[in-house]
Structure 1
Amino acid sequence: MFDSFEIPKELIPADPRFGSGPSLVPTEFLEKLAKTGHEFMGTSHRKAGVKNVVKEIQEGLKKYFNVPSDYLVVLGNGGATLLFDMIALGLVEKKATHYTCGEFSEKWYKSTKLVPWLAAENVSVPFGKGINGKAVAGSDLIAVTLNETSTGVQLSELPIVDANTLLAVDATSGAGQCPCDVSKTDVFFFAPQKVFASDGGLWIAIMSPKALARAAKIAGDKSRYIPEIMSWTHAISNSEQNQTYNTPALATLFIMNEQVKRMNEQGYAEIQKLSQKKADLLYSWAESKPYLSCYIEEKQFRSIAVATIDVDAKVNVDDVIKFLEKKKAVYGIDGYRKLGRNQFRISMFHNISYSDLDKLTKLLSMMIESKL
C-alpha cells in the first residue's frame, strides 16, 4: 500500500524504538556493560560485585521515589506477572478487591480469584475507561493499576486505606514516570523493561512496614501453601542482603542500575514534566487531525507513559506499521493485539525523545494523508 512512499530524511527518528515493552535500552549502557569484561557477567550474585549493583539499585530507587526509610526495596526473578500470584498467596489474608480497566489489571484479578481459600472481588469498567479504586469494607488488600499498558489508562489518584488494609499498585509500565506518591502505597511493584529501560525477568516491589508485617504473618501460618519460589520470606531476607533468592540475570541488573542513575540526575518531578510535555504533543496531534482520535476519552485518565490513538478505518494501521518496520524507521507502535482496534500504541518512556516523537507524528500524518 505504501510501496511508492518515500520517507523524508528529516522525519526519520534518531532511534526507531517506540514500543511499550521491551523499552528503548540506550546502546551506551550495553557498551558500558561490555567494558566490564570478565569482572561482572558470569560472576556469583552472592559476591560483592553483583551485590553492590543491587544495593545501588535499591538506594537509587529509594532516592528517586523519596521512599520512607522504613520501606524496603525487594527484588526477585520472574517479572511482575509472577507477583500477581505472590501477592495473592502471601499478602492477602481473606479478601482482595481489584479495580480493573484492561487486560493486565484483569489478569491480576484472575490470579487472585484462582486461590481457593481467598475471596476476590472485581470492580471493573470497560476497556478504555479509567477507574481509581477505593477502600472496601471486608477487603484486606486493594489492588489498582497505575498505568494499564494495554489501553493507556492511568490512575488519577490513589485510594486511601486504613491500617488493616494493604494498597497494592501494579506500576509495571508507569513506575518512574506516571505520578504516584509511593509513600502512600504498601506494595508498589514493577518490572524494569518499561520506563527503567532494561530487560525483563526481574521484579521489584517497594514494600511498606505494614506489607512486610503482613508477609511475615501469613508466612507463619503453616496451613497456607506458598511455593518456595514465591516465598516473601526468601525474597525479603535476600533483599536485605542486597541479593535475590535465586540467580538473577546480571545484565538486567546492570542496565537497570545505569537507568536509575541517569533518571536520578533529573529527578522524578522533572521527568514527570517532560513526560507530560510528550503526552501533550501526542494527544494534541490526535485531536487536531480528523482521521485520528484519542482512545481514552476521559482526559484525567490519559497516560503520560503510553498513548493509544485510534485511526480512521480508511487507512489500515497494519500497513503503516509493516512499511515502517521494513524500512527500519519505526518499531513497536502496534496497538495491543487483544483490543482489536485500528490503533497506534506509542510509548513515551523516558528514553524516547520529544524530538523523535515529533518526527513520528509528522511522518504518520504524511503517510495517512497520502492515502485519504
Structure 2
Amino acid sequence: MKRAYNFNAGPAALPEEVLQEAQNSLLNFNNTGMSVMELSHRSKDYEAVHNEAKALLTSLLSIPEDYEILFLQGGASLQFSMIPMNLLQENKVGYYALTGAWSEKALKEASKIGEAAVTVSSKESNYTYIPDLKEIKVPEDAAYLHVTSNNTIFGTQWHAYPEGLTVPLIADMSSDILSTPIDVKQFDVIYAGAQKNLGPSGVTVVIIKKELIKANSSLPTMMSYETHASNNSLFNTPPTFAIYLLSLVLKWVEKQGGLEGIAAINDKKAKALYDVIDNSNGFYKGHAEKDSRSKMNVTFTLQSDEITKDFLQQAKEAGFVGLNGHRSVGGCRASIYNAVPLEHVQALASFMENFQQKNS
C-alpha cells in the first residue's frame, strides 16, 4: 500500500515504523495474549509501558527532578481551564500573549474562572507575527504568563521566550513539542495534546513544576493537578493505547538522533517549502512574517480563489492530503510535523514548482 502524503494539521502523521510496531503487537503485547488496549491499567505490563513513556520523555527533554510529568485527557482545551483553576489565585490576573486562535481560546476559558487579561497581541495583523519580547509587560498583579509556542492556523512560532520573569511561564506546546531542543527549566508548565508530534489523539502531556502542584479541596477531583500527580496519572483509567503509542514515538525520536537530529530534519523540511514560496515572485505568498515563521505549519496563499481551488484539486489528485488552509487565513497550509518524512516535503515542493510553471 502506498502511504499518502499526509500534511494534516491534526490528528497528524505518525511515523510508519511506529504504526508497524503497534500493528505487530496489536493482538499479543509482550506475550500477554492480549492487546495493550485490553490490559488492566493496574497491571505490571501496562505499568511498565506507562513508566517507560515518562522516562523517555524525561530523557529526551532533560526534564529536571523538580518537575512532574502527567498523562491526562481532554486535550489542550481542557488545560485552558485546569491552568487557571489550579494556578490563578484570588486577586491575581492570568496574563496571555495573543498570537492566534488557540491563545484566544485559552484566554476565554481563563476568564470564566477568574481575572484574565492580554499582555501583548498580534491580532491586529491577523496574527502574521510573534510580538517582540521587549513588548511583553507582566504587571505586579500577575499570577502567570501564558504563551502558545506554535500557531497552527496562522503559521507562526516563538523562536525565543521571555526570561527573568517573577511569575510562572506557561506554554501550550501542542504543535511543536519535541521538534527542537528547549530548556524546560525556562518554563513552569508545558502542556501538549499528543496528536501532532507526540502520538495519537487521546492523551495530553503536562510537565509542571512540583511546587505548583497543591491540594485544593474546592476543585473538582479530576480538575486538580494534585489528584493526578499523587496517583502517577492513574487515578482513573488512562488512555492506555495512546500512551503506548506515545512511548513508541519517543523511541523513534531517539533513533532520529534525539531533538538535535529531529531539529536538523525539520529545518530542511521548512526550508524546502519556504524557498519555493520566496522564489516564486509572488505566485505564492506566505502568511507569516519571515522572522516569525513556523517550522511546523507552512501557511501560504495564491493569487486568486480560482487558482487556489485548482492547486488544491491537483494536489489531491497527486496524493497530497490536508493542504487546505484554515478559514481564518484561506489559501493553503502544509503541516510538516516530526513524522512527515523529508521526502514527502520535497515532493510537495516539486509539485508547487511545477504548478507555478504551468500556471504563470
Question: TM-score, structure 1 length as denominator?
Answer: 0.85
* Aligned residue number for residue 205 of structure 1: 206
- Cα offsets for 1:318-352 (capped at 9, x unmatched): 34324433x3601011112233x2x2211221121
* Aligned residue number for residue 345 of structure 2: 357
- Paired residue secondary structure (1:200): coil
- Paired residue secondary structure (1:99): strand
* Aligned residue number for residue 190 of structure 2: 188
Q: 1:178, 1:303 within 8 Å by CA — same for their partners in 2?
A: no
* Aligned residue number for residue 261 of structure 2: 270
The change in CA–CA distance for 1:268 and 1:31 in structure 2 (over 3 A counts) is closer
Opposite residue 180 of structure 1, the aligned amino acid is I
* Aligned residue number for residue 167 of structure 1: 169
- Shift in Å, 1:72: 1.4
Q: 1:40, 1:50 within 8 Å by CA — same for their partners in 2?
A: yes
* Aligned residue number for residue 226 of structure 1: 219
Opposite residue 295 of structure 1, the aligned amino acid is H
The residue correspondences of 1:68-87 to structure 2 (distance < 5 A) are 68-87=64-83
- Paired residue secondary structure (1:244): coil
- Shift in Å, 1:189: 0.8
- Structure 1 stretch 225-234 or stretch 148-157: which is displaced more? 225-234
Identity of aligned residues (%): 24
The change in CA–CA distance for 1:25 and 1:370 in structure 2 (over 3 A counts) is same
* Aligned residue number for residue 310 of structure 1: 301
- Cα offsets for 1:144-172 (capped at 9, x unmatched): 11111111111121112445x11100000
| 1:143 and 2:142 correspond | no
Opposite residue 284 of structure 2, the aligned amino acid is L
- Cα offsets for 1:34-66 (capped at 9, x unmatched): 333214221111222222112111111111111
Looking at structure 2, the residues matched to 357 and 269 of structure 1 have their Cα atoms a distance apart, in angstroms, of 19
| 1:154 and 2:145 correspond | no
- Paired residue secondary structure (2:146): strand
Looking at structure 2, the residues matched to 314 and 111 of structure 1 have their Cα atoms a distance apart, in angstroms, of 35
| 1:31 and 2:20 correspond | yes
Aligned-pair Cα RMSD in Å: 2.1
Looking at structure 2, the residues matched to 312 and 179 of structure 1 have their Cα atoms a distance apart, in angstroms, of 36
The change in CA–CA distance for 1:160 and 1:313 in structure 2 (over 3 A counts) is same
Q: 2:88 aligns with which of 92, 99, 104?
A: 92
**Any stretches of 5+ residues in structure 1 without a counterpart?**
1-12
- Shift in Å, 1:75: 1.2
Looking at structure 2, the residues matched to 89 and 144 of structure 1 have their Cα atoms a distance apart, in angstroms, of 17
The change in CA–CA distance for 1:229 and 1:261 in structure 2 (over 3 A counts) is same
Q: Once superposed, which parts of structure 1, at least 4 consecutive aligned residues long, lie more than 4 Å away?
A: none
| 1:330 and 2:320 correspond | yes
The residue correspondences of 1:263-302 to structure 2 (distance < 5 A) are 263-265=253-255, 266-290=257-281, 291-297=283-289, 299-302=290-293
Q: 1:125 aligns with which of 104, 122, 129?
A: 122
Looking at structure 2, the residues matched to 336 and 245 of structure 1 have their Cα atoms a distance apart, in angstroms, of 37
- Cα offsets for 1:67-118 (capped at 9, x unmatched): 1122111111111111110001111222111001111111111111122x43
Looking at structure 2, the residues matched to 26 and 260 of structure 1 have their Cα atoms a distance apart, in angstroms, of 11
- Paired residue secondary structure (1:337): coil
* Aligned residue number for residue 103 of structure 2: 105
Q: 1:33, 1:251 within 8 Å by CA — same for their partners in 2?
A: no
* Aligned residue number for residue 10 of structure 1: none
- Paired residue secondary structure (1:307): strand
The change in CA–CA distance for 1:314 and 1:97 in structure 2 (over 3 A counts) is closer
Looking at structure 1, the residues matched to 76 and 340 of structure 2 have their Cα atoms a distance apart, in angstroms, of 23
Looking at structure 2, the residues matched to 109 and 181 of structure 1 have their Cα atoms a distance apart, in angstroms, of 25
Opposite residue 344 of structure 1, the aligned amino acid is C
- Cα offsets for 1:217-242 (capped at 9, x unmatched): xx34x4xx422221211121122xxx
Q: 1:143, 1:169 within 8 Å by CA — same for their partners in 2?
A: yes
Question: TM-score, structure 2 length as denominator?
Answer: 0.88
Opposite residue 233 of structure 1, the aligned amino acid is E
**Any stretches of 5+ residues in structure 2 without a counterpart?**
28-33
The change in CA–CA distance for 1:35 and 1:324 in structure 2 (over 3 A counts) is same
Opposite residue 334 of structure 1, the aligned amino acid is N
Opposite residue 255 of structure 1, the aligned amino acid is L
Q: 1:99, 1:105 within 8 Å by CA — same for their partners in 2?
A: yes
Looking at structure 2, the residues matched to 191 and 185 of structure 1 have their Cα atoms a distance apart, in angstroms, of 17
Looking at structure 2, the residues matched to 26 and 156 of structure 1 have their Cα atoms a distance apart, in angstroms, of 25
Q: 2:40 aligns with which of 26, 37, 44?
A: 44
Matched residue count: 342
| 1:366 and 2:357 correspond | no
